[in-house]
Structure 1
Amino acid sequence: MSNDVVLQFNRKRSRITEILFYAINGILVIGFLYPLACVFISSLKISSDLVMTPPTWWPSIFTINNFSELLLSNNSMTRAIMLSGVISLLTVVGTVILSTLAGYGFSRFNFRGKNLFFVIVLLTMMIPFQPILTPLFIIITKMGLQNNIIGLVLVYITFQLPFSVFMMRNTFDSIPREIDEAAQLDGCSPLKILFRVMPTMVSPGIVTVIVTTFIAAWNEFLVALVFMTDSENYTMPILLFTTSSGQYGTVNWGLLQASTTFTMLPCIIIFLFLQKHYVSGLTSGATKG
């Protein structure tokens, strides 16, 4: 009887623990999704609903005029969306290539000062980017890359490399060296091992770099504001800031909410498609080495 009582008690305790776990996580999910839901629903409201006091949760009339104005009536916004997409993709490609090569080198090769160089890479993660904007601006200007997407991409890659190199190095460290030795016996050079053998095994780390880099480049505001002084080269976050205001300081709340919703979509879609590999990369590569 005592064993039965203990078993029943353990089952009840595990059930209560499971209920508490799902309840707490459900509350957290609601807390995170509530602001996003407010933005999306507000983007479907007419102007009169957006300025009502007290505010209403549900729109009296659903409309997509805000999205139509964003995509069809505002050519500069369409250009900014495309420009942000190009800059983000170039930043992702450059960061993935450089961080993969650097991570592979730090993981698989022994050279003098290897650990010191890696520590220096990690230390750069502790430097806030705001104090170095001025010297970076001077360098980019002297290179003739101001108001140029290539200059902005180079700056973004510079900011993303420390974390990405750290991630890729630890991802390569999680792969047994016996795989390299077996490939070398088959006549593969280090570069062939990297490009033919490793990609599948380090894909979680690469996906992690892709997701973090794309979100950072897509949403970045301050650096783009400093380096892109020409209105034709404004990225999406800058144009959201400048075009949300109308005459005499009034704010077009419908356009602002539609723009915010549209800005969130690429990040949400990319994360939903790659979340399995992203979580795997964070839990494996980031904890090894």
Structure 2
Amino acid sequence: MRYHISMSALAVLFLFPLAWSGWSSVRGQPGSGQAGGYGFGNYTQMAAFGEGLPTYLTNSLLVSAMTVAGTLVVAALGGYAFARFSFPGKNLLFLAALAILMVPYATILIPLYVLLGYIGLQNSLVGLSLVFVMFQLPFALYMMRNSFEAIPRELEEAALVDGCGTFRAFSRILLPAVRPGLITVGLFAFLASWNDFFAPLILLNDGANFPLPVAVVSMTQRTFGAIDYGMLQAGVMVMAIPCLVLFLVLQRHYVRGFMSGALRG
């Protein structure tokens, strides 16, 4: 009984800010798109701002999709290599990848901005997604290495004996076995790229390329620095709902991924 009461209290505590944002986004406020009563005036005003909400949503979806795809490919191949192969400098290379976590996030955005300019990806959604992939690699490689190490080597050896090549055994046998780990890595990569504000603010300078977080901050600024809280809360809801739905759909795999691989060392 005490457990259920505690969990219910925590659920209310965590859900209250989201419920408050949803209520504020449809409640009438002076100077907002919904001046009185209740309705979707703030959402209508937000949809027509700047390049339009579909443009900002498309940018966020493209960046998130490229980040998830790039992170999964690199993490799956790298995690498999670190878990199954022995080569000179293996541990040093793995520590070097983890060392990215020790570098303050904000301090390398300007050097990355200059580097993207050299390779022609400045002010580009592709360049932004590559930056997100880099910052996701430490956690993703650690997760996937441990996930592959949790799979018995005998399973892979049996596939090789039956005639499978290394790549076929990897794609047909091992990848399905580490699916919870892949889903966990993909979910983290999506949430990080979908919600990030600082990196797009620094690396992008064209309003047509802005993802949703930067657009929401831009659309809330009114005359004399006043903030349109109604539109701000509408933007928060548009950003939060996909994350919430995705987490609820994948939570079973997410928990299993942590339990099966992430806590093994």
Q: Is the 8 A contact 2:220 2:229 kept in 1?
A: yes
2:224 — aligned with what?
248
Distance in 1 (alpha carbons) for counterparts of 2:259 and 2:216: 35
1:184 — aligned with what?
160
* Residue 219 of structure 1: how far off its partner (Å): 0.6
Distance in 2 (alpha carbons) for counterparts of 1:207 and 1:282: 10
| Residue 21 (str. 1) matches residue 15 (str. 2) | no
1:125 — aligned with what?
101
Kindly provide the amino acid, as one letter, of the partner of residue 20 in structure 2. C
* Residue 139 of structure 1: how far off its partner (Å): 0.7
* Residue 68 of structure 1: how far off its partner (Å): 2.1
Q: Is the 8 A contact 1:244 1:256 kept in 2?
A: yes
2:185 — aligned with what?
209
Q: Among residues 157, 165, 168, which one is paired with 2:141 in the alignment?
A: 165
Kindly provide the amino acid, as one letter, of the partner of residue 239 in structure 2. T
Q: 1:24-56 CA deviation, whole Å, 9 max, x = no partner?
A: 221111111111110011111112498xxxxxx
Kindly provide the amino acid, as one letter, of the partner of residue 27 in structure 1. A
1:149 — aligned with what?
125
Q: Among residues 215, 223, 241, which one is paired with 2:199 in the alignment?
A: 223
Q: Among residues 168, 175, 193, which one is paired with 2:151 in the alignment?
A: 175
Q: Is the 8 A contact 1:76 1:232 kept in 2?
A: no
SS in 2 for 1:215: helix
* Residue 108 of structure 1: how far off its partner (Å): 1.0
Q: Is the 8 A contact 1:205 1:281 kept in 2?
A: yes
* Residue 258 of structure 1: how far off its partner (Å): 0.7
Aligned pair in 2 of structure 1 residues 184, 280: CA closer, same or farther (>3 Å)? same
Distance in 2 (alpha carbons) for counterparts of 1:171 and 1:98: 14
Kindly provide the amino acid, as one letter, of the partner of residue 52 in structure 2. S
Kindly provide the amino acid, as one letter, of the partner of residue 227 in structure 1. L
* Residue 77 of structure 1: how far off its partner (Å): 2.9
SS in 1 for 2:77: helix
* Residue 178 of structure 1: how far off its partner (Å): 0.4
2:19 — aligned with what?
37
Q: Percent identity, aligned pairs only?
A: 37
Unaligned runs of 5+ in 1: 1-18, 51-59
Aligned residue pair count: 263
1:76 — aligned with what?
52
Unaligned runs of 5+ in 2: none
| Residue 259 (str. 1) matches residue 241 (str. 2) | no
Q: Is the 8 A contact 1:244 1:251 kept in 2?
A: yes
Q: Is the 8 A contact 1:42 1:257 kept in 2?
A: yes
SS in 2 for 1:47: coil
* Residue 205 of structure 1: how far off its partner (Å): 0.3
Q: Is the 8 A contact 2:51 2:208 kept in 1?
A: no
Distance in 2 (alpha carbons) for counterparts of 1:256 and 1:230: 21
1:4 — aligned with what?
none
CA RMSD of aligned residues (A): 1.8
Q: Is the 8 A contact 2:46 2:219 kept in 1?
A: no
Kindly provide the amino acid, as one letter, of the partner of residue 22 in structure 2. F
Q: Is the 8 A contact 1:204 1:280 kept in 2?
A: yes
1:16 — aligned with what?
none
* Residue 137 of structure 1: how far off its partner (Å): 1.4
